[in-house]
Amino acid sequence: MTNRVNLGYFPNTRKVIEVNSATENPSSLTLPTPMPGELYHLIAFLFSMTVVLWSTPVVRTIGLKSGYIDKPNDRKIHERPMVRLGGVSIFVGTLTAILLVWWLGGFKGLYQPKEWEILGVILGGIAFFLIGLADDLYHLTPGSRLVMQTVFAAAAWGMGVRIDFLTVPFDGLVHTSWLSLPITVIWLVGMANAINWIDGVDGLAAGVSGIAAVVMLIVTLFMKQPAAALIAAALAGGSLGFLRYNFNPAQIFMGDGGAYFMGFTLAAVGVIGLVKTTAVTAVLLPYLILAVPILDMSAVIFSRLSKGRSPFKADKSHLHHRLLEAGLSQRLSVVFIYALTLWVGSLALGFSNIPSGWGYAIGATMLLSYVGWQVWRNSRRINED
């Protein structure tokens, strides 16, 4: 007589062992050791970073030879022509890392709706990258970019990347119902453009995105959303790896392709990893983690409209422009915005009830205070001179 003992699901294997109950003791069997779930996230992070570190010089060389460069002008800060195709490296590194952990089994065991959500994030990210790359190469009109982004964001919504709940003060969670589609599209398209808008100083967009991705990685893991965390890990590795070549003085720019890809992916991971939950605090976390680019974009739009200008006509009203106008260096301006991003991210750790989360928030507050003091001291000294 034999009994079939189902050993259950393992991320990298699924086995059923037949045991002869007359001769063998099932309790004496050695079960196969699965790969720890966190190892997949480490692989995604390191592989993405490695690919970006290796591929960015190659992309830069190709860009220089092909003439795809960003020339200086009155609104831009850089003083020499720069290749603006660095987003290709971030995209390739992130996507290959995701495909690698998928092949290794990191995404196994997902029920079908969740698989569609993951595919929605990946395919949507590819679409937004291609829109940005086309703009980098052929200079699309703002209207055509917006239309294409709206279409692909709606397609991602159709695949399950959708905001089903919103938090209303004093009323808790409210189901979005038919408003889910427009709210989701505004969120996905808005964040893609918000990251693109802050990409005006060396290393700013890559660093802010990298910090936000790391925070999302931690929070989604704690919220038991490992699939969303895998994408966040890959994006974090790619973004931070790119800083090797993008921090001041930058050797290459990410361009619209990289900015749109990172912005959409961050927003989509926030939806499938946090907004999909029914906890009031979790629904708010993506907006808190990405508060810096959200508030910067909102302030810029309000400023332009109040002056009777088009909200889509570029100017120098962003936070990084104001810091530079105050006399700060590019590096100090960027580090201050990094500290601000890390601070709001640490608040997300605290509100998500992660162990020692509020301890991290206190540490981030101290760091922001120190950097803020440096900003005040430097701007005061410059004004006195």
Give the pLDDT score at 312: 80
DSSP per residue, 43-109: HHHHHHHHHHHHHHHHHHHHHHHHT-EE---SS---SS-EE--THHHHHHHHHHHHHHHHHHTTTTT
**C-beta of residue 251 within 8 angstroms of C-beta of residue 245:** yes
Cβ neighbours of residue 169 closer than 8 Å, sequence gap 6 or more? none
Tokens coding 238: 């790619």
Sequence-separated (6 or more) residues with CB below 8 Å from residue 44: 97, 98, 100, 101, 106, 230, 233, 234, 237
pLDDT tens for each residue of the chain, 385 residues long: 444 333 333 344 433 333 344 434 444 444 344 566 679 999 999 999 999 999 999 999 999 988 887 776 666 666 677 899 999 999 999 999 999 999 998 888 777 778 899 999 999 999 999 999 999 999 999 999 999 999 999 999 999 999 988 776 656 678 788 899 999 999 999 999 999 999 989 999 999 999 999 999 999 999 889 999 999 999 999 999 999 999 999 999 999 999 999 999 999 999 999 886 656 667 789 999 999 999 999 999 998 888 888 888 878 889 998 999 888 899 999 999 999 999 999 999 999 989 899 999 999 999 999 999 999 988 888 766 6
Helix axes 226-246, 37-66, angle to 10 degrees: 40
Beta bridge partners of 172: 168
Distance between start and end Cα atoms, the chain? 92
Cα(179)–Cα(184) distance, integer angstroms: 8
CA distance 238 to 94: 6
CA distance 217 to 121: 15
| CA gap 53, 246 in Å, rounded | 11
Contact by Cβ (8 Å): 348, 288: yes
Helix (H, G, I), strand (E, B) or coil at 224: coil
Q: Which residues contact 343 (CB under 8 A, 6 or more apart)?
A: 361, 364, 365, 367, 368
Q: What is this structure's pTM?
A: 0.87
Using CA atoms, how far apart are residues 307 and 310, in angstroms rounded to an integer? 9
- pLDDT value, residue 254: 94
Q: What H or E segment, with its residue span, contains residue 8?
A: strand 2-10
